[in-house]
A and B are shown apart, each in its own frame.
Chain A
Amino acid sequence: MTVRPDRPEPMNAVPVRHPGRWVAVAVLAVLAAMLVHTIVTNDGFGWPVVGDYLFSPPVLNGLKNTLILTVLSMAIGIVGGVLLAVMRLSPNWILSSVAAVYIWVFRGTPLIAQLLFWNFLSALYPRLSLGIPFGPEFVSFDTNQLINQFAACLLGLGLNEAAYMAEIVRGGIASVEHGQTEAAGALGMSRAQTLRRIVLPQAMRVIIPPTGNETISMLKTSSLVVVIGYFELLTSVQRIYSVNFQTIPLLIVAALWYLALTSILSVGQGFIERRYGRGLQTGPPGPSLLGFLRRSPQEVAP
C-alpha cells in the first residue's frame, strides 16, 4: 500500500516487542531438530521397511476396505441420522419417542457389542422372513446368508453412527431460525419442501464440521470390525507384523495412510463448508491444521 499525499501521516510508533515468543520459538526449534534427528538416525523406525510395505497388496487391500467401510457406514449414518432427527423433531410423539429410544440404545451401548450382536444375530433369529405380521410369510432367508460379515460390519458401524448423526442434524435444524419455516410456510411450501430447500441447507453450516469429525473418526473406528473377523487397514498391518515382527515400521505405514486420508477429508470439508457458507456471514474460520487452504480472498488480499 502506498501512502498518498492526501492521506494522513502514518503513526510511526515503535511496535510492542514480544521477547517471550522468540524464546518459545527457539525452544520449539531445538525440540523439532532433535525429533527429526532421531527419526532419521534411529534404525528402529525402519524406513526401508516402511517403503517396502507402504504400497504392498495386503496393505492396499486393507486400505480399500477401510475406505469402503467408512464411506458406506457414513452414508448409512447420515441418511439414518437425518431421518431420526426429523422423527425426533416431529410433533407426533410416537415418532419422536421411537427416535429418542433408538438414540438412547445405540449411543448407550458399546460399539463392539453392537458389531458382535449383528454378527451373531443368527443365533437369535436363525431365519428372517418377509410377510404379514403374525400372518403368512412370503419369503424367508437364512440369517447367516443374508447378514454376512461385511453386512454385519455395515449394520454395526452405520446404525451406531446414525444415532450420533441424529443429534448433530437435530442441533443443525434447531439452529435455523423459526422465522424461516414460517416464511416458507406462508409461501405455501409443504413441510417436506421447507425442510429440503430452506432448513437443511442452512443447517448444513452447523452440521458439516462435526460430520467431518465423525468421518475422520470413522476411518479409525472401522478398525473395530476385527472383533467379528473382518479386516481393514490396521488389521492388515497387524497381520503382517505378527509374522515379521516389524511392528514400528508397519504401524508407521498405517499411520501414514490414515494421515493421508484425514488430510484429503479436511480439504474436502473445507470445500463443502464454503459451498454452504454462501450468503451466510460466518465468523473467522476456526484454527485448523489445514486452515491455510480455506482462507477467504479478502484475507489474502493485502
Chain B
Amino acid sequence: MTPMVEALGIHKSFGATRVLRGVDLVVQPGEVSCVIGPSGSGKSTLLRCINHLERIDSGRLRVDGHLVGYRERNGRLFEMRESEVAHQRRDIGMVFQRFNLFPHKTAIENVMEAPVVVRRQDKAAARTRAVELLDRVGLADRRDNYPAQLSGGQQQRVAIARALAMSPRLMLFDEPTSALDPELVGEVLDVMRGLAREGMTMVVVTHEMGFAREVGDALVFMDEGVIVEHGAPREVLANPQHERTRSFLSKVL
C-alpha cells in the first residue's frame, strides 16, 4: 500500500536556524497521526512542508506516492511550476491555528470559494455541497454569517468545512484548538473525531492529549527538529522511552 505521507530525512533551515534536522515520518491511508512537542520544535514547519508552503532543503517527501513540489525524471529532480504546486495542494486540506477564514466572505462563500475558483465547479452544485458540509459541522443555521459574527469554535468548524469542500485525501491540522476558549475546544474536536471515524487520513499537531490517546493511531513526539519518539499513543503517553519525552509530558499532563 502506498503511504499517504512518506517523509525521509527532511531538513529545513531558516537562515542559520536549523528547524528540521532529518525527520522521517510515514502515515498510512486512513491513519490519524498526532504530533506533539514543545513550542519551536518544528511541528508547524513539518506540516507546512507537507503541502509545500515551505520548501524542504533536503530529503524526500511524498504524498500519495508523488513527490511534493518536485518531479523526478531520469534520476534528476525538477522543481514544479507554481501552477503544478497549486494543483498538488488541491488534494491536501489544511486547518490553521488562527482559522484564517476569508473575512470578506460569508461562511458559505468561504466553503464555496475553492471549489468554484479552483475546481471550476458549477456554482449551484458547489452551494449544495457547501450546505451539506456546513450542516455536517453543525453550522447549517450560520451559513450567511461573516466570520466576525462567529465564535472561535464556529470559525474553526467553517475552516474545516472549507478544507473538506475540496475533497482532500489528506488533512493537516496545525493546533486547531489552541486559539480557542476552553469551552469551545470540544465542538471542534468532535468534528475531527467524526472525520477520523470516516477514515480521513489526518496529521494533527495538538496539545490535546486526550484526543491523541482516543483518536490517534500514532503519536509523534518532536523536539529540536527531530522525531524523538514515535508509537501507539497509549504506550507513548503511559510509558515514554526517552527522557525528553518524559520531561515534556510531565509538563503538559
Question: Which residues does A use to contact B, with CB under 8 Å?
Answer: 177, 179-180, 182-191, 193, 197-198, 201-202, 276, 278-281
B169 interface residue (CB < 8 Å to A): no
Given contacts A182-B96, A197-B117, A279-B105, contact A188 B82 (CB under 8 A): no
Q: What is the bound-complex CA distance between A183 and B174, given in angstroms?
A: 12
B2 interface residue (CB < 8 Å to A): no
B146 interface residue (CB < 8 Å to A): yes
Q: What is the bound-complex CA distance between A276 and B103, given in angstroms?
A: 11
Question: Interface extent on B, as a size class?
Answer: 20 to 34
Given contacts A279-B103, A279-B105, contact A185 B90 (CB under 8 A): no
B102 touches A183 (CB 8 A): yes
B100 touches A183 (CB 8 A): yes
B56 interface residue (CB < 8 Å to A): no
A189 touches B114 (CB 8 A): yes
Which B residues touch A276, using CB under 8 A?
104
Q: What is the bound-complex CA distance between A201 and B110, given in angstroms?
A: 14
Closest to B118 in A: A188
Given contacts A188-B166, A189-B114, contact A180 B102 (CB under 8 A): yes
B106 touches A279 (CB 8 A): yes
Which A residues touch B114, using CB under 8 A?
187-189
- Residues 198 to 231 of chain B near chain A (Cβ within 8 Å): none
Closest to A191 in B: B82
A280 touches B117 (CB 8 A): no
B118 touches A183 (CB 8 A): no
Shortest distance from the beta carbon of A128 to any chain B beta carbon, whole Å:
35
Shortest distance from the beta carbon of A281 to any chain B beta carbon, whole Å:
5
B98 interface residue (CB < 8 Å to A): yes
B98 touches A187 (CB 8 A): no
Q: What is the bound-complex CA distance between A191 and B117, given in angstroms?
A: 12
Given A185-B89, A198-B102, A276-B104: 20 more A-B contacts, CB < 8 Å: A179-B96, A179-B100, A182-B100, A183-B100, A183-B102, A185-B86, A186-B53, A186-B89, A186-B92, A186-B93, A186-B94, A187-B89, A187-B114, A188-B86, A188-B89, A201-B104, A202-B102, A279-B103, A279-B106, A280-B103
